[in-house]
Structure formats: C-alpha cells, structure tokens
Amino acid sequence: MNDKTIEKTFDIFDILVGSRGDNDYAKKPVVIQGITGSYGSTHTRLMKAYGTNVAAGVTPGKGGQTFEGIPVYDTMGDAVKATGARISGMFVPAPYFLKAAIEALDSGIKLLVAIPEHVPIRDSIKVLEYAEKKGAKMVGPNTPGVIVPEVMKVGIMPAQPFKPGNTVVLSRSGTLMYEVSYNLSMRGFGQRLCLGIGGDPVNGTNLIEAFDLVRNRSDIDSVVVVGEIGGDAEEQLAEYIVRTSFDKPVIAYIAGRAAPKEKRMGHAGAIVYGNFGSAESKVSNYAKAGVPVAKRPAEVPDLLAGKLKK
C-alpha cells in the first residue's frame, strides 16, 4: 500500500473508538508520553476518570514504576509492545517534542495527540513528514486534544462542555472549543467529535484533513469550525467546501476581528500580515462557500439551528 492510500483510509474513529465487536471497543489503549510530569499526571487522572483507557505511560528513567495503577515505561517501544496502543497523548515539553514523536512513530503509534505549546515549526514539519511515511497522523501541536463525548478523550479539555451528538467541532483555539461546544450542548447540539486543530502556524491535521476524516460519516450531520486570524486555513477550507461539494451544513466562528495587524495574539499562528490572515479575508471567502460566520460564540447554535432546519 502506498502512502496515499494509507492517507485515504485513515479513520480517526477506528483509531480512537474502534468498531462494535472489537474486544476493546471504546476502550482503545492510549499511552501518555510524559505521564509523571505535573501536566501529564493531572490530565492522566482526568482522562482516566472520563473513561479513556490509559494503558501505559512513558517517562525516561522512571520505567518500572506505576502511576495511579498505570505502568510506566522508559521507552515508547516497551510501552507499545506491552499494550498494543496506537494512540499517544504527548505531554512532553516542546524542546523534547521532536525526539519523543519520532520515538512514538518508530514504535508503531498511528495517532499522535501533541499537546505542547511552543514547538518550533521546523520540528512540527519534520514530525509530519515522518508520520506520513509511517501512515500515521498527528493532531496538534498546541492543541487541547480530541474528545468523543462521554466515550473517551485524549487531551486537556474539561469534561463539562461536551455532550454526545451528531455535530463535529474543529477548533484552532482551546478555550474557544470549550466555549462553543458548551453553547452547542446547552442548546441540544451534542458532538460526535471535537478536535483541536492547534494554535500553531503548522498543524498536524489541518481543517481540510479534518473535514476529510468526517465527510463520509452518516453519524455526523454538521461541522462547526472555530477559527482565528492568521494564515489561510479558513480560505483554503472555503475553497475545499466548494470544490468538493461538501454537503453537510458548516458554521464558522472567527476570533480576532478587532486585533491589530502584525501583532501575535497569544497563539504562534494568530498574526495578520497586510491582508494575509485577516478576519475580513476569511469572512468573505466563507461567504463564497455559503458558510455563515457567527459574531460571537453564543451565536453559533442559532446559526446551526437555522441551517439544520432547511
């Protein structure tokens, strides 16, 4: 099988949840890289409490220990061999990210959920090129992670905003993913999947690739895209929606309309150069694709309700 076919057949739901009939359906093993760090350990507890099968952790030098009953290994090779995991939740600091990601991919991991912020762009690109060779995917870096509400989550998102349902939320921002999902949940629009694209300039799974992951699924009736200023991901997505005749309703939100130009607004990727990356450019491209853009997070469910009625 060549790389292209692997890409086409990559099924994030199969990786995260599996199929009914699998022995470990909805209990797919996950390895946490950096499990004993302060961030990694806090969220390992929360993920476990949510229902994620955290089967192993890795912290070099701490192999043989356990954390909350979870075995800790020195290397990803050992952890994957012991658990058969295909998912890694990465909680390593940015300077160690490249090495940790390559190790995970060499061990057979098929989905990297890359939490750290401040990863150099070059390292992200190297990991992506390597992941492609290995038929694997990365979500992030600088992402809150992925959640299949009330089934499992790999990441740092709180549990409360998310309810199961049939929409998908894709977001370049963490807290806005929570805010928008919370607004949707309150209005009865549960989510099949919420995925943090990440706030960096280069994303492991970009908006178009995320759309590819969900477009043919009958259990998904709509997609909500939470974007922000910077780059041209929204413009590219708008073009994709038209070009591929994407037929599920899409609602967008864009943060940063009032931000000044040439200032990095917290996220490495949130910066406007000239008109490149501006909110106006994104809104006008979305308009061409028939995608309504909410003025504020609380307006997203109104727009979605309008689209789903038709």
Residues forming the active site: 267
Closest to 44 (Cα-Cα) out of 35, 226, 53: 35
CB of 201 to other proteins, least distance (A): 5
Query: Which residue type, as a one-letter code, is found at position 118?
Result: H
Closest to 175 (Cα-Cα) out of 141, 142, 144: 144
Distance between first and last Cα of the chain? 41
CB of 88 to other proteins, least distance (A): 20
* Closer to other proteins by Cβ: residue 157 or 291: 157
- Residues of the shown chain interacting with other proteins in the complex, contacts defined by CB under 8 A: 94-95, 118-122, 125-126, 128-129, 144, 156-161, 171-179, 182, 199, 201-203, 206, 226, 228-229, 231-233, 236, 253, 255-260, 262-270, 274-276, 295-298
Helix (H), strand (E) counts: the chain: 11, 14
CB of 99 to other proteins, least distance (A): 13
* Closer to other proteins by Cβ: residue 99 or 118: 118
* Closer to other proteins by Cβ: residue 6 or 94: 94
Q: What six digits make up the tokens of 3?
A: 């790389």
CB of 278 to other proteins, least distance (A): 12
* Closer to other proteins by Cβ: residue 61 or 260: 260
Using omega within 30 degrees of 0 as the cis cutoff, is the peptide bond preceding 141 cis? yes
* Closer to other proteins by Cβ: residue 55 or 254: 254
Query: Which residue type, as a one-letter code, is found at position 288?
Result: K
Cα(57)–Cα(29) distance, integer angstroms: 11
DSSP-derived secondary structure letter, 260: P
CB of 142 to other proteins, least distance (A): 9
In angstroms, what CA-CA distances link 82 with 15, 75, 119? Answer: 18, 11, 29
Cα(309)–Cα(28) distance, integer angstroms: 36
